[in-house]
Chain A
Amino acid sequence: MAIVLENIKKVYSGSKEAVIENLDLTIEEGSFTVLLGPSGCGKTTLLRMIAGLEEVTGGTIKVDDEDITKMEPGDRNLAMVFQNYAIYPHMTVRGNIEFGLKNYKITKEKMAERVKTVLELTGLQEYVERMPNQLSGGQRQRVALARAISKSPKAFLMDEPLSNLDAKLRNQMRSELIQLFNQMETTFIYVTHDQTEALTMATDIVVMKDGVIMQHGAPQEVYRNPQNIFVAQFIGDPGMNVIKTKNGNYIGIKPRALRPVKAQEDSLEIQGKVLTREFLGVDYQYTLEIGIGKVVMRAVEEIAVGAETSLYVAMDDVFYFDENQNRCEAFAIAEMEGVYRADE
């Protein structure tokens, strides 16, 4: 089952500017698609339009070739997990799960069976009769998940479901979500601004900016082959260093590709001065002044703050972007002060 969005346009009532101008997207069946982007990029709006919580100004949404653009949210057979869980505070865990099931007119035996299955799946058996205010944040999020799973929907829509959890719990829930995805064999559509979540869980990443899809691909593809400067700088921790050349085009260097020692014959050498050094356990993160701007480097070598040093990057690791900030063929890098080919 694929979800196909065609020519989607969204203008909020009372506002003149479109959040999304014209967007096409196909979400493959069984994929874990992450909509990734900074806040205000339209990713949540997009998800809510798929769910039916937000009206679509123009265009169509199809699920399995069936047009669901105008369908009621409850009839779409999709389940959503909200950022703040949205579990019913006056119902027990069981009540929360059964509330939706009762509306779908299934037999009592079947309902009991389903409730039992999802409780086992989410590890909530002990808490069935508890009220939400007796549960921790992680448990509440599990209730929200259990409620979604119980409906055996065509797709799960998740709106930053982990953002309200603390870092440790978030890591744990992340791996649980991956396990769940592997067990369910259903489409997951997941909205986040956290690129780590996207890279770790997704099978497909859709990077968005201002209502426009900047790149759509597998996590490896998005990480290794960013199609434009926005994606290059958004993905990766930290993002890519981008230097504007004298010709108006750009070169990009990943912080881990910069080295204080020359490793390859065909390299670019950059003169820099260490501004800050952050110890990150495995390695250091340096911010360096290079005359035409600042760059970030991740390296295991220890360099003193204030030291003048030469940085090297293999020519194979240099990314090239044209004046429109899109990826392009390698070009001859115009001469810049402090940047030169090391073999010359």
Chain B
Amino acid sequence: MSTVRMNEKFELKQHGPVYRFFNSLLKCPYVLMAPALITCICLTIFPMCFGFYLSFHKWDPISGRKKFVGMKNFEYLFNSEDFRKVMVNTIIFMLVTLFVGLFIKVLLGIFLNKRTPLHNLVQTVAFTPHIIATVSVSVIFMWLMDPKNGAFNFVLSSLGLPTSNWLKSADSALASLLIVSIWQTCGHGALLVIAGLRSIPEYIYEAAKLDKSTPVKTFTKITLPLLSPTLMYLIITTSASAFTSFDMVKMMTQGGPDNATNLIAYYVYQQGLMFNQYGRAMAAAFILFLITATLSCVNFFGLDRKVHYQ
């Protein structure tokens, strides 16, 4: 590096050619975007396109043979009784986690929204399931829901109530899975609701009191609209996560009994890794992608108009 003498007091540093080369590169926006862009292309866009491409093929990755089959994979799925059942299961799973789950989260949030040491403790406890690995949660609930030796049936029978086969029966397996899923997510959701409630200033409620507003009216006309950004966030994330629920199914039921708990994410895994039908798996995955994308758009643009951001 050479220095140019400006005068006695100031010395202006001049950088060398290597420095200047990289410096000039940094002035190009694409260079600055490149790390994120390359990651995104390699890990998101390429797999997506490759998956879409594969959904029109019959592909065996072991032998490496690949044959173009056109719409055959999609035809198979639409004519398959199993796939129809999987879709129905997934939609039921989504609607229940969405509405029942949201209801419980809001209710829990309202009850826990107090600043006493006890409430803080309960908040922490309620949040814990969110940070426990789903695998552990699944193992615990498999034991709790065991028809013969499980704690649930023990409590029910000691209280003289009818017992259930829980995960072992096609009638109750999906409901059991829903209980676990809602249990696991409600604490985290409640915490978000609490944060939303606390962002509503106290003086708004005081103004409502002076306006002779009843508690019910205050809740529906003031609390809910002002909580709408939080609710909106919960609706989007809950509905999207229903379509991607996999670990719980894999751990607890493997989709059974009789496909009663088979959800679309698990179905994709089953077709691909278990039955070696990568083409079908990719076709199902593409349908899953279309559904979640549509849902997100509907949520985002449809609900956005009704959401009040402060």
Contact = CB atoms under 8 A, between A and B. Distances in A.
A74 B203 contact: no
A306 interface: no
A80 B208 CA distance: 11
Given A82-B203, A84-B203, A89 B308 contact: yes
Interface stretch (A96-104, A169-177, A253-261): A96-104
Interface string A214-232: 0000000000000000000
B204 interface: yes
Contacts of A78: 210
A74 B212 contact: yes
Interface string A70-85: 0011110011101010
Contact of A90 (B207, B214, B225): B225
Interface in B10-43: none
A184 B92 CA distance: 60
Interface string B273-310: 00000000000000000000000000000000000101
Nearest to A78: B210
Contacts of B209: 52-53, 72-74
Contacts of A87: 207
Nearest to A100: B211
Contacts of A311: none
A51 interface: yes
Interface string A95-133: 000011001100000000000000000000000000001
Contact of B204 (A73, A80, A86): A86
B218 to A, nearest CB: 10
A12 interface: no
Contact of A89 (B212, B214, B226): B226
Contacts, number: 61
Interface string B209-239: 1111110010001100110000000000000
B221 A99 contact: yes
Interface in B89-140: none
B206 A86 contact: yes
B213 A89 contact: no
Contacts of B221: 99
A62 B210 CA distance: 18
Interface string A43-84: 000000001110000000000000000001111001110101
A86 B203 contact: yes
Given A86-B204, A88-B204, A99 B211 contact: yes
B304 to A, nearest CB: 14
Contacts of A53: 206, 209-210
15 contacts: A53-B209, A72-B212, A74-B209, A74-B210, A74-B211, A82-B203, A82-B206, A88-B208, A89-B204, A89-B310, A90-B225, A99-B208, A100-B213, A103-B212, A104-B212
Interface of A: 51-53, 72-75, 78-80, 82, 84, 86-90, 99-100, 103-104, 133, 147
Given A74-B211, A90-B308, 5 more contacts: A82-B203, A88-B204, A88-B222, A89-B310, A90-B225
